[in-house]
Amino acid sequence: MHIIKYPHPTLRHRSKPLRRIDGGLRKMVAEMLELMYANKGIGLAANQVDLPYRLIVVNPSGDPAVKDEEHVFINPEILRSKGSAEDREGCLSLPDIYAPVKRPEKIVLSAYDLSGREVTWEIDGLYARVVQHECDHLDGVLFIDRLTPSNLLAIKQALADLELEFSGNRQRGLIPDDVRIAARLTELETART
């Protein structure tokens, strides 16, 4: 398992709901958390690790020792939002790129946990921002899609550099073509959803 980078097609894929929780899913979650911490992240969505599932892991502290802030959300859905706040965001799939993003300040989230219980959370502050960022991923939306034109212009060269790196990796055969990626995602969806 590894984190895929922009502009990998899976990042734009709308993830499918999960229908069962089993040992395979628990192993996937453990690997995602380990990868998130190893990359100094505070949230990670399944499609960032090239998986087409509605699954996110978060820990706003970024510290693996702070387990009470670590959460797994399966099939998350934002039910309500309130307020507005702007803050700087980054993304493990867009390394070293940061820009201000405006989002609701508070949200109510419904999801399933790893025990299969449906939970509803009222979240605010950084935690709400992280969850919204990761839920966006599940719908194929990146934080750069929420930038003002001037903020997008400010990171244009960094995005072009990632696109060039992706193209080079694809030419070297390190990344399959879009048809193969789509077929793989469909196969994974069929097996687990």
Q: What is the CA radius of gyration of the chain?
A: 16
- The per-type count for the chain, helices as H runs and strands as E runs, is 5, 7
Beta-strand pair 71-82/55-58: antiparallel
Q: What is the distance, to the nearest Å, from the Cα of residue 26 to the centroid of all Cα atoms in its chain?
A: 17
Q: CB under 8 Å to 169, separation ≥6 — which residues?
A: 175
Please, how many CA atoms are within 13 Å of residue 94, restricted to the half-sphere of its CB?
A: 22
The residue annotated as part of the active site, out of 134, 163, 165, 189, is: 134
Is 134 one of the annotated active-site residues of the chain?
A: yes
Query: What is the spatial distance between Cα 89 and Cα 107, in angstroms, rounded to a whole number?
Result: 17
Residues designated as active site: 134
